[in-house]
Amino acid sequence: MFGLACVDPRFSWRGSEWMACAPTREAVGVLRDELTLRATVDELLISGFEISDISVLAGRRSIERTFGYMYDDVTELVDDPETPFASFIDAASRTEARAAIVGVLFYVAALWAAYQVIASGGTLLSAAASAAVAGSVGALIGLFLVMILNRHHAAYVDEQLARGGLPVWIMASDQVREARACRILEHQAARDVHVHDVFHEVPRFLARAALGTEYRTTD
């Protein structure tokens, strides 16, 4: 029977294949409010970081699913490799998404109403009137969904603030970017600013590139 022997112990068996842990460096800090988080992200982007380099804490359900309980202070999570995180979504993108929800529901409802009237032999005028009414109803439904999303986001932010602040992780590929990220976090008065190593699992066939280690099959 063949298996994998590696000089680096950071290998684990997942399902039907070996996985390797690829090391990554991250700058970490905890910010005092959402406005500061937005300002920090803007400064990072201006300084050459990509939006994909920036991560924030995932929602309550993901945390409870991972740990089985809620944390008392966000600093308990910032260095835990099991902490679930999410991509940062800026306010402009959230606004565009919410506008799209309202617009799509208006369009679909109006189109469906107009089709029903025309298919039943109605006039274009009556189809237009029905489309306007149905579109308005669709838009109202969309606004209701947007209100739910707004409340969900506000609760997500408020819960983190009540437990110490808004943690942010910034992937840094070298020491220069590490120092730059830490300076920006400190400029925005983040607390617990530091750099740590994290390890992400990748399939075995990427192990050599990910770790720079030799591995071999043995019986």
- Lowest-confidence segment of 19-23, 63-67, 167-171 by average pLDDT: 19-23
User: Tokens 């600013």 belong to which residue?
Assistant: 193
What are the two backbone dihedrals, phi and then psi, of residue 15, each rounded to the nearest 5 degrees?
Answer: 70, -100
pLDDT tens column, 172-204: 988 999 999 999 999 999 999 999 987 655 444
More confident residue, 4 or 188: 188
Does the pLDDT at position 48 exceed 70? Answer: yes
- Lowest-confidence segment of 9-13, 105-109, 201-205, 210-214 by average pLDDT: 210-214
pLDDT of 174:
87
Beta strands, E only, 77-156: 85-87
For residue 16, give every residue at least 6 positions away whose Cβ sits within 8 Å of its Cβ, in sequence order, or none. Answer: none
C-alpha closest to that of 146 among 195, 185, 110, 100: 100
Q: Are strands 166-172 and 17-31 parallel, antiparallel or unpaired?
A: antiparallel
pLDDT of 15:
52
Band (pLDDT 50/70/90 cuts) for residue 209 is very low
Spatial separation of the C-alpha atoms in residues 82 and 199, rounded to whole Å? 10
Cα-trace Rg, the chain? 24
Angle at 88 (CA atoms; ends 83, 90), nearest 5 degrees: 155
pLDDT of 96:
85
Q: pTM of the full predicted structure?
A: 0.70
pLDDT of 20:
53
C-alpha closest to that of 75 among 157, 156, 155, 168: 168
Spatial separation of the C-alpha atoms in residues 164 and 29, rounded to whole Å? 11
What are the two backbone dihedrals, phi and then psi, of residue 137, each rounded to the nearest 5 degrees?
Answer: -65, -45
Write out the two tokens for 216. 């071999």
Does the pLDDT at position 47 exceed 60? Answer: yes
pLDDT tens column, 99-121: 898 999 999 998 898 888 888 88
pLDDT of 45:
94
pLDDT tens column, 65-93: 888 888 888 888 998 888 888 889 887 88
Does the pLDDT at position 10 exceed 50? Answer: no
Spatial separation of the C-alpha atoms in residues 47 and 79, rounded to whole Å? 24
